[in-house]
Amino acid sequence: MGAIRQKRVNKTYYNADADIGTKPNGNAVTGVRVEYVNDGETLDINLSDFNENIKAGAALYGISYMISSDYDEALARLERLQEGHWASEVGKSGPRTGNIVEAVRRAKSAAGQDFDAEAFKSRLVAMEDSERSTLVNSVLAIVEVQKEFNKIEREQLEARQAKRSALEASPNVSLAQL
């Protein structure tokens, strides 16, 4: 039995100006060069060679393939694509914009501050990926602190309720014993 030959394919996306890279990145892509390393052959696939129905079908097939098999992750990635941001790695698209807006709304509300959700969402969507990532990480840190704060408050409430229940169950217990 012969050795199994591993197929190797290299892809380079491009537009009229230059090669873009090994993954589309949201820039205007007009084609892809597919190199079949084992066969020494190359295919150039240009969008201009296809009619609009084929382009639409291929685009939807590609989007449905890339958004993930996990529903929440698929929603997050689809939202990023609809916002005009290329989500290049599965699971790396980050929290949904709506979730970030809601987290900020809750934090602002807890602090007694006004919040314009639509204005914030517009600002968030318009940000460069690196700026958005920094902001999202800050919001996530605030959310974690708020969760910890809520947990402490819940534990303190439960402790007070337990003491109250113990006092009610044992009317002979003095206040000094608590």
One pLDDT digit (tens) per residue for the chain, 178 residues? 455 555 688 888 888 777 767 666 666 788 888 888 888 889 988 989 999 999 888 888 888 877 766 787 788 778 878 877 765 443 445 566 777 888 888 888 887 889 898 888 888 877 777 787 788 888 888 877 877 887 888 899 999 888 888 777 766 666 665 5
Q: Which pLDDT score is estimated for 2? A: 52
Q: Where are the alpha helices (DSSP H) in the chain?
A: 52-66, 71-82, 97-110, 117-126, 129-169
pLDDT at residue number 89: 42
Q: Give residue 89's identity as a one-letter amino acid code.
A: E
Do residues 122 and 100 lie in contact, with contact meaning Cβ atoms separated by under 8 Å? no
Residue 29 Cα distances to 19, 52, 86, 121, 132, angstroms: 9, 15, 12, 28, 24
